[in-house]
Every structure is written in C-alpha cells, then in structure tokens.
Amino acid sequence: MGKLLVKKSKVLKGEVEVPGDKSISHRALIFSSMGEGESIIRNFLFSQDCISTMNCLKSLGVSIEVYDSIVRVKGNGIKGFKEPENVLDAGNSGTTIRLLTGLLSGLPGVFSVITGDSSLRRRPMKRVVDPLRKMGANIWGRNNDNNPPLAIKGEKLVGESHILNVASAQVKSALLIAGLLAEGETCVTEPSLSRDHTERMFQYLGLPLKREGLTLKTHGIESYKNKDFNIPGDFSSAAFIIAAGLLVEGSKVIIKNVGINPTRTGMLDILKEAGAKFNIIDTWEDGGELIGNLMIEYSDLKAFEIKGDIVPTLIDEVPILAIIATQAKGESIFKDVEELKVKESDRIKAVVDGINKMGGKAKVIDNGFVVYGPTKLKGGEIETYGDHRIAMAFAIAGLIADDETIVESDSINISFPTFTETIKSLGGNVIELQS
C-alpha cells in the first residue's frame, strides 16, 4: 500500500492546474456513448473512477480510444448498446453505478450485472432502483435490492413523475438518462438544487429538457448527434489546493482553469463568510459550464456554519472544510450532512476521529458534526478508510501539523491522480512512501 508522509511546510507559492472534472468526465463519456457519431473529449480525468465508467461502456460495445490524452468515443446511438459478456465493474464509483443503472434499465432485452468494490457494495442503490422500477425497470440487488451487485434486465421504460427525498445529482441524472430512453414524459423534482452538469449537457447537446423551479421534464427520443467536450478542472480537487493556500502561513497560490459552476462552489460562499482571501480572476464559458482562474492567499479565518440548501453544493468539500475549521476561530457547525455517512466511507466518523487524533477538537452531533478552532495540530497516522477525500483532507492538515502525518495514498487515484506532485510543485513537504 502506498502512503504519503507529510510535514509542516513553509509558504506555498505558484500557479497550478487541477485535472478534469470527475462528474463531467463521467457524463461526457456516457452521453457520447448514447449519441451518434464521433466525440472528442479533451482534458478528460484519467482517474480510477472515470476509467471504471470507460471500461463499463466499452463492455457495452462502445468504441472508446485514447491518444495523446484525448478520448475519442464513437457512439452507436441510444439503441446501439450490446449485452455485456461479463459483470460490469464500477469499482469505487457511485456515479458510475447509479448513472449506468439508469441507462441499462432502459435497454430492452439487454441483461447486465453491475457491481463494485467493498465500499461501493455497501452504498445505497434503492434511491435509483425504486424510481426506475416505477418506470418499468427490472432490477434486483442484495439486501432487498439496495446493494450491488445489481442485476438488470433492460426494458422499454415508461415516463413517470418522481419526487426525490434526497438532493442527489446521481439519482437525478440516472432518471433523466432513463427518461431519454422511455416512452412519454419523465419529471424529476429534487428537494434542493444539486450539481446540474447533466442539465447543462442536455442543453449543450440539444436534448429535450424544461426546468420549472426544482422540477425537470424530459421525454423519450430516437437519436441525437454527438458533440465534442472540453472538460474544466475539477473544483472538488481545487478545494484541497484552496485549503492549502488558506492554511499555510504566507502562501499565495493561483489555480487555473477550474470549473466554477455555482452548483459546485458552495465552499467559496462559506469561505467568504469566514473571511478567506481569494479572488476569481478571470471567467469564461465552455460547453455550457462556467470556468475561471482562482487566486488564494493565507487568511485569518473565523468559524462558519453549514446547513440546508447549500449542502449539496459543497457535499464533497465537507472533509476539507472540516480541516479548515480546525484553524478558524470559534465553533464551526456542519448540519444536514447525513449524506456523508453513505459516501465512500462514513465521512462524518472519519473526519471527527481524524481531527481528534491530530489534537484538534471535533464531535458528532445529530446529522452532522462540530469543529472547535483554532487548534494546534500534531501529526499521526490517520485512518482514511480507503476514501480519497479523507486521505487528501488529512494530507493537507499535515502541511500545518507539528511532527509527521501519514495517510494511505492509493485511494487518491480515484479522483486526483496528480495530487502529490501538485502539492510538491507549490513547495509542500510531501514524501511518497512505498510499502
């Protein structure tokens, strides 16, 4: 198992880019596979999660080639998928299994089984299985159809109205994909706005979609033509660099070409309230997504509160926001974050235990947790539960901790394969240990 050894670091300075957005990379592959003709995807995220999606789609007969870091997909149209010869492996990726379950359910006559690693096999799938069944889908799974492996016998689906009880972009996207394959109209209403990359992609590709408040409406189609994608840097990866810049004394960091879709940047709103010094220095649009360059400076921070509708817009940033909270003056409260319990690990437990182990102060509350700051952090070996966001969050904490911090690092390839070299290029004291 690979490990990272992180030591207290002097100022971080420089200009970096983070790799392509994970959510958009998955979707660019899936939509290019469903469309007709060739699509070129630039700045695709070559991380384990996106490679899982790529391999699943190849097993469904889609031609996907990679040359010079560019992905070329030849879509066979929404009716052009073949039955996979073997079990589909979504690895560690919730996005892969949930979005593909939407697609597979709507392929008449196609039998498939989709599964993943031990973390994914514990994650809840009922949230996609139940609404898809209302559309006529045939899906079975372990634990009363809640856990992978899922077995699916594709069927001609019928449009339905769905009112979701979690704000989940994965569920919303699975249902919109199924809606394109279904007869008639499909409506999806979410309790608050989750990331809207799927909706933006529908618009970019000219697919049918109407929004009325939190309700989306689509309908079945016969075919559509593919378009190319230029994927912006992943804000969720940039979040770790933003935190490093804010926390390491004297730092000044520029991150270029980052996706700043407002349904992803709740962290910036919270940080502004907390007194963080950052600027979005240029912005532009590409493929329906907003992109910008960010400048971050070391800041004196005050405590903050996260709750309600902002949560889905910073859901993957909660672990790193918790590390930031250890250095913010006062009691930072994280409420309504119960979804964190069903991510790659129970992120509430992982974050609270890790912070306390490093000498910080955090405690679990109902549906969330509290962090008290500022506290001096000491090093230690932190349990990541094989969860990439936990590993990276505590690696960043290690940059300001006394002594040495050690985290497992294999999981980092799930979303940010160049994390270590990026931190090193800014002057961070990180060493890769092999064992």
Ligand X SMILES: C=C(OP(=O)(O)O)C(=O)O
195: CB partners within 8 A, 6+ apart:
23, 169, 261, 263, 264, 312, 313
Q: Which of residues 180-209 bind ligand S3P (CB under 6 A)?
A: 194-195
Residue 25 or residue 299: which is nearer to ligand S3P going by CB? 25
195: annotated binding-site residue? Answer: no
23: annotated binding-site residue? Answer: yes
Residue 5 or residue 268: which is nearer to ligand X going by CB? 268
Amino acid at 34: M
Beta strands 185-189 and 361-365: pairing type?
A: unpaired
Q: Residue 168: name its binding partner from ligand S3P, ligand X, none (Cβ under 5 to 8 Å by kind).
A: ligand S3P
- Spatial CA neighbour of 6 closest among 425, 420, 435: 420
132: CB partners within 8 A, 6+ apart:
101, 102, 105, 139, 157, 174, 175, 178
9 near ligand S3P, rule: CB under 6 A: no
Q: Which strand ranges, in their side-by-side order, compose the sheet holding 70-76?
A: 63-67, 70-76, 36-42, 229-230
211: annotated binding-site residue? Answer: no
Tokens of 300: 């004196």
Among 149, 187, 343, 426, binds ligand X (CB under 6 A): 343
Strands, E assignment, 20-142: 36-42, 63-67, 70-76, 88-89, 111-115, 138-141
300: annotated binding-site residue? Answer: no
- Spatial CA neighbour of 249 closest among 179, 182, 299: 299
Determine the interface stretch with ligand X among 92-100, 149-157, 212-220, 240-248 (rule: CB under 6 A). 92-100
What SS3 string covers 211-228?
A: EECCEEEEECCCCCECCC
Q: Which of residues 27-56 bind ligand S3P (CB under 6 A)?
A: none
173 near ligand S3P, rule: CB under 6 A: yes
Among 17, 196, 316, 383, binds ligand X (CB under 6 A): 316
Determine the interface stretch with ligand S3P among 34-42, 162-170, 281-289, 398-406 (rule: CB under 6 A). 162-170
User: Which alpha helices (DSSP H) does 5-93 contain, by range?
Assistant: 22-34, 48-59
Name the residue with tokens 């031990």.
Answer: 118
Determine the interface stretch with ligand X among 50-58, 91-99, 223-231, 366-374 (rule: CB under 6 A). 91-99
Q: Residue 344: name its binding partner from ligand X, ligand S3P, none (Cβ under 5 to 8 Å by kind).
A: ligand X
Q: Residue 411: name its binding partner from ligand S3P, ligand X, none (Cβ under 5 to 8 Å by kind).
A: none
Q: Residue 173: name its binding partner from ligand S3P, ligand X, none (Cβ under 5 to 8 Å by kind).
A: ligand S3P
Q: How far apart are CA 239 and CA 265, in angstroms?
A: 9
- Provide the residue count of the chain: 435
Residue 5 or residue 139: which is nearer to ligand S3P going by CB? 139
Q: Residue 93: name its binding partner from ligand X, ligand S3P, none (Cβ under 5 to 8 Å by kind).
A: ligand X
Residues 18 and 234 sit within 8 Å (Cβ to Cβ) = yes
123: annotated binding-site residue? Answer: yes
Residue 26 or residue 217: which is nearer to ligand X going by CB? 26
Beta strands 252-259 and 13-17: pairing type?
A: parallel
Among 169, 231, 337, 430, binds ligand S3P (CB under 6 A): 169
Q: How many residues bind ligand X (CB under 6 A)?
A: 9
Question: Least separation, in Å, of the C-beta of 2 and ligand S3P?
Answer: 22
Q: How far apart are CA 281 and CA 145, in angstroms?
A: 48
Residues 144 and 150 sit within 8 Å (Cβ to Cβ) = no
Q: Residue 389: name its binding partner from ligand X, ligand S3P, none (Cβ under 5 to 8 Å by kind).
A: ligand X
Query: Alpha carbon 354 to chain centroid distance?
Result: 22
Please tell me whether residue 186 adopts helix, strand or coil conformation: strand
Question: Least separation, in Å, of the C-beta of 326 and ligand S3P?
Answer: 22
Q: Looking at beta carbons, which residue is closest to ligand X?
A: 94
Question: Least separation, in Å, of the C-beta of 163 and ligand S3P?
Answer: 16
Helix (H) or strand (E) holding 6: strand 3-7
- Site of interaction with ligand X (CB under 6 A): 49, 93-95, 316, 343-344, 389, 415
Which residue numbers belong to the known binding site for 3-phosphoshikimate? 22-23, 27, 168, 170, 316, 343
Which residue numbers belong to the known binding site for phosphoenolpyruvate? 22, 94, 123, 170, 347, 389
Which residue numbers belong to the known binding site? 22-23, 27, 94, 123, 168, 170, 316, 343, 347, 389
- Site of interaction with ligand S3P (CB under 6 A): 23, 94-95, 168-170, 173, 194-195, 315-316, 339
